[in-house]
Structure 1
Amino acid sequence: MFVDMSTEMVYPLVPLYLTATLGASPAIVGVIEGLAESIASLLKVFSGYIGDVYHNKKRLAFAGYSASVIYKIFLLLAASWPGVLVARVIDRTGKGIRTAPRDALVAQSSDVKKLGGSFGLHKMLDMAGSSLGALFAYIFVATNFGFHKAFLFSIIPAVIGVLIIFAVREDKNRETVCEKLTLKGLKFDGKLKVYLAVIFIFCLGNSSNTFLLLKAQERGFSAAQVILLYLIFNVSASVLAIPSGKLSDRFGRSKILVPGYLIYGLVYLGFSFLSEKPAIVILFIAYGAYNAFISGAERAFIVENSPPGLKGTILGLYGMLQGIGLLLSSIIAGLLWDHINSDSPFLFGGIIGILSAIIILLILDKDNLIKFFRKTVKGA
């Protein structure tokens, strides 16, 4: 919560800083976000595996969260967009190191039947911190606090968050021994393989959130109002995260994941076709709902279908696929924005999102669909 508060104090400011102060184009913003995420994503699978083998998840999480402090320092020193790129790479590298071990710690501390609720709790605290950070970002912009002062102030909650990690306990006695990573060792359920492939395809249309902020600014929202929209998104995701996770525990993952991806597709199509300010506000709220629906249920599904002793590794692989997809999607979105129009990235992402929802329904609810069609045929 504290580290996300720190990160989100500056995240919505960075695209504004890049475009308004440093003169970067939307394409450059896309390259920065995509490169930072993809470079870091390659670390997720290795970090997850190291945590599985050496049972040092807490130390990896500590190292990864500490990078958030270093990121803010480099952001303070950046005087051009390459400097911002270096800062973002440091931040996302930290995320790459910490994400899989942290998720494995969450899974380790949770009852097997309550995984969705546990990841929902994590997401709720994550987005609550993001909401507070976005609120501070709004105050910074509304009061003309200044970019560099905001970057400096954001270091405080990051340090608090890192210090809290010392209170985390890792139960190494519950760990399954994992000798070494081999192709045989990575044998896992075919349903999970297909699901991971769908995630990668989906991520090709799921560009950085910075494009949503730039789109809102283009629709006539001021810089301060853009930050408020980002705050609304975070609050929406935080409020719905725990209920969504618990519902997936009770009714099954597909009942939450399919609507989540469908909401994403409709939201992106909305950004492409709608221009009225009230509609944009509703789209940001719905985007938060998508985020809440997906985060807990998806990670719970992956943990449930991962082989014993390699849960951190598979969670890292999941993060790596997301990061590589984000690199490609952000570059694609930037090029579409610059060379066609600003609506095209959202049209592309919306279509991909709806197709992903359909494929995930076929993967996770195949048996129920077959029964439904059989009944329909018999009835006819």
Structure 2
Amino acid sequence: MRFRGITRNVVILGLVSLFTDLATEMLYPIIPLFVVGTLGASPALLGLIEGLAEGISSGLRWVGGRWSDRLGRRKPFVIAGYSLSALSKPAMGLAASVLGWPLFLFGRCSDRFGKSIRTAARDALIADSTDPAYRGIAFGFHRAADTTGAVAGPLVSLAILGLWPHTPLATLFLIALAPGLVSVVIATLGVREIRQKVATPKRVTATGRFPRSFWIVLIAFGIFSLGNSSDSFLLLRSSELGLSFTQVVCAYALYNAVYAVAALPLGALSDRIGRRPVVIAGWLCYAGVYAAFAYAQAPIAAWILLPIYGLYQALTEGVLKALVTDIVPSEQRGSALGLVATVGGFGQLAASLLAGALWQIRIIDGMLATPFVIGAACALVAAPFVLGARQVSREGVKK
């Protein structure tokens, strides 16, 4: 496969995301165990923490994207966001000895606030730096690099705990500061600003000027997000099915490995056949995984379903962003990407709160059904809406 369209900025931003995700994913698999086990919080409180964190992460992205459009600059938002996320990691670890879960909530929300500042501006910069014909492969490359860090992160945690078995989980949060700072240095020295036409305040706030296809995508993603609870519940479900802590981390690493390997070729596929069928296939895959988790009874189910879940991520995460940037003009990309993430964030907040509240409800003995059935249903309802979105290339060809 020829990697045409992967520019310097795409490579640099891929490296930045790799180190950031290494730091983040060192911690993500242990967060449910740390919050529930070490800090003594309930599953419902875990749902509140993760829902608020992810709601902030996505819910405020429109603000960062909007201001990057207004200023015609992306890099300052990228650097500020990555810096805040890196510095928030130690605060979460200190919660084991100071203040408990409220401090963890503060650190987790600060981490996700940093993500909200940077994400829309970063994704807009990737689109700004890439020929329209290769946006699928560019976003796919970025997701592959990002997820390579996600694969490495849990393995680093396992290696540390294997070599020093008595290491407190809180110590991992302090260690995660190092790769986070590396990402900030790479972003500061390596990213090049692509000057854009500065959007006027009227143009940015007049969201009604977005094309009709954008609103269709936004509605579809909003419906999907109402069932897309935090991935922490997939990890808790895997643990409930019988996986040990080490097995949960390994299964999560396998999920990320599938995501990393598949993201680039599936992004390239969307360049050839269009974004819509790829996104729809991803949401159908999601529905199947969530329905299967609802009915799963044995540990082997988690080993099978989590890698398939990685395929869903590869089908949708970068391709949906490419679809949005294909639809809207360049001076509205930050706002559009941020608005999509905002709608998704509020949907995920609602989904995570509901999943936590319903965690103990079983329709059939031994089957944790309700949150996963809701997730599958929302994906099935959302998928047909994407057919109404018309992807318009720079050359004016509708796909």
Asked if Structure 1 and Structure 2 have the same fold, meaning a TM-score greater than 0.5 normalized by the shorter chain, the answer is yes
**8 Å contact kept, 2:230–2:348:** yes
Once the two structures are superposed, the pairs formed by residues 82-101 of structure 1 within 5 Å of their partners are 82-101=102-121
**Equivalent residue, structure 2, for 1:346:** 372
1:295 maps to what in 2? 317
User: Structure 1 residue 163 and structure 2 residue 189: aligned?
Assistant: no
What one-letter code is carried by the residue in structure 1 that aligns with 2:35? L
Tell me the alpha carbon deviations over residues 70-89 of structure 1, each in whole angstroms, 9 at most, x when there is no partner: 21121122132222111110
Residue of 68, 77, 84 corresponding to 2:94: 77
Instruction: Quote the residue 1:104 is aligned against.
Output: 124
Asked whether the equivalents of residues 244 and 296 of structure 1 are also in contact (C-alpha less than 8 Å), the reply is: no
Could you say which residue in structure 1 is the equivalent of 2:52? 35
Determine the structure 1 residue equivalent to 2:265.
Answer: 243
Out of 198, 201, 221, the position equivalent to 1:177 is: 198
Q: d(CA) in 2 for partners of 1:185 and 1:350?
A: 30
Percent of residue pairs bearing the same amino acid type: 38
Q: Which residue of 1 aligns with 2:385?
A: 359
Deviation at 1:168, TM superposition (A): 0.6
Normalising by structure 1, we get a TM-score of: 0.92
**Partner of 2:284 in structure 1?**
262
Query: What SS is found at the alignment partner of 2:230?
Result: coil
Q: 1:219 to 1:57 in 2, by over 3 A?
A: same
Deviations 1:242-276 (A, max 9, x none): 00100000011122111100000000001011222
Aligned partners of 1:185 and 1:280: how far apart in 2? Answer: 42
Comparing 347-356 and 86-95, the one that deviates more: 347-356
Bigger mean CA deviation after superposition, 14-23 or 180-189 = 180-189
Cα pair distance change 1:290/1:364, threshold 3 Å:
farther
Q: How far, CA to CA, are the matches of 1:82 and 1:313 in structure 2?
A: 32
1:45 maps to which residue? 62
CA distance in 2, matches of 1:130, 1:110: 24
Structure 1 position 339, deviation (Å): 4.3
Contact 2:136 2:270 in 1 (8 A): yes
Q: Offset of 1:141 from its aligned partner?
A: 4.4
Tell me by how many angstroms 1:347 deviates.
1.2
The amino acid that maps onto 2:370 is S
Aligned residues between the structures? 363
Q: What letter matches 1:85 in structure 2?
A: L
C-alpha offsets along residues 120-162 of structure 1, whole Å, 9 cap, x if unaligned?
0110011000100011123344434321221111111111111
* RMSD, matched Cα: 1.6
CA distance 1:185–1:216, shift in 2 (3 Å): closer
Q: Counterparts of 1:117-136 in structure 2 under 5 Å?
A: 117-136=137-156
What secondary structure, in the 3-state scheme, does the structure 2 residue paired with 1:12 have?
Answer: helix
Does the aligned pair in 2 maintain the 1:4–1:129 contact within 8 Å?
yes
Q: What letter matches 2:373 in structure 1?
A: L
Give the drift of 1:40. Answer: 3.4
- Secondary structure of the residue aligned to 1:115 is helix
User: Relative to structure 1, is the Cα distance of residues 364 and 140 closer, same or farther in structure 2, using a 3 angstrom cutoff?
Assistant: farther
Q: Is the 8 A contact 1:15 1:210 kept in 2?
A: yes
**1:353-372 CA-partner distances (Å, limit 9, x unpaired):** 1222233245569xxxxxxx
- Residues 12, 213 of structure 1: 8 Å contact kept: yes
Moved more, 90-99 or 56-65: 56-65
Cα 1:140–1:25 shift into 2, 3 Å? farther
> Equivalent residue of 1:23, what SS?
coil
Deviation (angstroms), 1:201: 1.1
Deviations 1:80-117 (A, max 9, x none): 22221111100000000000010011111111100111
Q: Which residue of 2 aligns with 1:58?
A: 75
Counterpart-to-counterpart distance in 1, 2:58 and 2:290: 24
1:219 maps to a residue whose letter is: L
**Alpha-carbon offset, residue 277 of structure 1:** 2.4
Contact map agreement 1:9 1:133 (CA 8 A) in 2: yes
Which structure 2 residue ranges, 5 or more long, are not aligned? 1-17, 392-399
Q: Distance in 2 between matches of 1:140 and 1:364?
A: 49
User: Structure 1: any 5+ residue segments left out of the alignment?
Assistant: 366-380
Q: Who is 1:368 aligned against?
A: none
| Partner residue, 1:214 | 236
CA contact (8 A) 1:48 1:315 kept: yes
Q: Residues of 1 paired with 2:187 and 2:174: CA distance?
A: 22
Q: Which residue of 2 aligns with 1:377?
A: none
Name the TM-score, length of structure 2 as normaliser. 0.87
Matching residue within 322, 330, 341 for 2:344: 322
Question: For structure 1, which segment, 308-317 or 36-45, has the greater mean C-alpha deviation from structure 2 after superposition?
Answer: 36-45
Residue of structure 2 equivalent to 1:12: 29
* Match of residue 371 from structure 1: none
Between the aligned partners of 1:141 and 1:353, the Cα distance in structure 2 is 37
